[in-house]
Amino acid sequence: MTVKLYAMTCGYLDMPMELLIEGGTGTLRIPIPAYIIEHKKGVALFDSGMSLLVQKDKNKALGPLEPYFAVHFEPGEEVSARLAAIGRDASKVDFLINSHLHFDHAGGNALVPNARVIVQKKEWEAGHVPELIQANYYDPRDYDHGHQVLQVDGEYDVFGDGSLRCIPTHGHTPGHQSLHLHTESGEVVLCGDACYLRRTLDEMRLPGIVSDKESMMKSLQKLKDLQSRGAKIMYGHDPEFWSTVPQAPAQAA
C-alpha cells in the first residue's frame, strides 16, 4: 500500500544561522512546511505550522523568542486555508501527526479541530513541564485544544500496513519524531526538525537548538542510513531544497 503526499508552505521565518547549524553566521529565511498525506483509510496531516495568534501579532506573540525570529506569515497561509485552497477540509483530517510541539510545528493544531493527535509520549510530557513552558520552549496554547491525543512510544504504524510510520528521532526535543512514507515514487522521510538543512545531514553538523546532542546525532545517523537505502529525505527548513518541492495540489513525491 502507498500514500499520496502533498506539501504546503505555511509562512516563513527569518532565523539566525547559528541556531540552524553549528558555526553558521548571518540569517536565513526558512519555510514553514506542513504535509497532507492521503491513504484509502483516511487523511493525515504532518505538522500544522504557526498559530493565528502569531499571524495576527507577528513577533509579539513569540514572547521571549521574539529576538531570534522575524515572522512572515500572512492571512491565507495558515494550514486550514492552505488545505481549503486545494479542496480539503481541515475539519475532516483524521490524524494530526506532530513532529514536536514547538510553535512553528504545532501552532496550527487548533485549526484542525477533529483530528486525533499523534505525538511521542516523551514530547507530550515535555510540553507540559512547567519549567520548559516558562522558558518558552513550549506554549500549551499551541497544542492544548481538547483533541484526542494518542501518545506513542517509539515507532507507530498509523494505518497498520507500513505505508505511514512515525519513527522516533529524538534530540532536537525530548520526543521529536519523523514520518516514514511509502509513496508511488518510493520511500520518503519527513524530518521535521531532526534535520533542518541538507548541510545538516551531508556534514553531520548539529543545529544550535538541541535538547540532547547524543540523541540527535543518533537520529541524524538513522536518517543517513535511510537515505543510503534510497529514501528521499525532506529536510525540515531548507529553503533551497524547498524551492524544488512541488506544492499542493501537485504531489510532492
**Share above pLDDT 90 across residues of the chain, in percent, rounded to a whole number:** 92
Q: How far apart are CA 109 and CA 206, in angstroms?
A: 28
Average pLDDT, the chain: 96
- Give the DSSP H or E segment for 123: helix 121-126
Sheet of 27-39: strands edge to edge?
A: 70-72, 4-16, 27-39, 42-46, 95-97, 116-120, 149-152
Provide the pLDDT for residue 112: 98
Copy the grid coordinates of residue 200: 545538516
Which residues contact residue 244 at a Cβ distance below 8 angstroms, ignoring those fewer than 6 apart? none
Provide the pLDDT for residue 201: 97
**Can you tell me whether residue 71 is helix, strand or coil?**
strand
User: Once rounded to an integer, what is the mean pLDDT over residues 49-66?
Assistant: 90
Give CB contacts under 8 A, 24+ apart, made by 114-119.
115/45, 115/147, 116/147, 116/148, 116/149, 116/150, 117/143, 117/147, 117/148, 117/149, 117/150, 118/150, 118/152, 118/156, 118/158, 118/166, 119/149, 119/150, 119/151, 119/152, 119/175, 119/177
Give the position of cell 497561509: 77
**Can you tell me whether residue 202 is helix, strand or coil?**
helix
Chain centroid, CA 72 distance in Å: 17
Instruction: Give the CATH number of domain 4-242.
Output: 3.60.15.10
Provide the pLDDT for residue 64: 85
Which residues contact residue 3 at a Cβ distance below 8 angstroms, ignoring those fewer than 6 apart? 37, 38, 39, 163, 164, 181, 182, 183
Q: Note the pLDDT tens digit of each residue in 195-246.
A: 999 999 999 999 988 999 999 999 999 999 999 999 999 999 999 999 999 9
Q: Note the pLDDT tens digit of each residue in 171-183.
A: 999 999 999 999 9
Provide the pLDDT for residue 153: 98
DSSP states of 137-165: S--GGGT-S---EEEE-S-EESSSSSSEE
Closest CA to 181 of 226, 217, 120, 238: 226
Q: How confident is the model at residue 65 (pLDDT cuts 50, 70, 90)?
A: confident
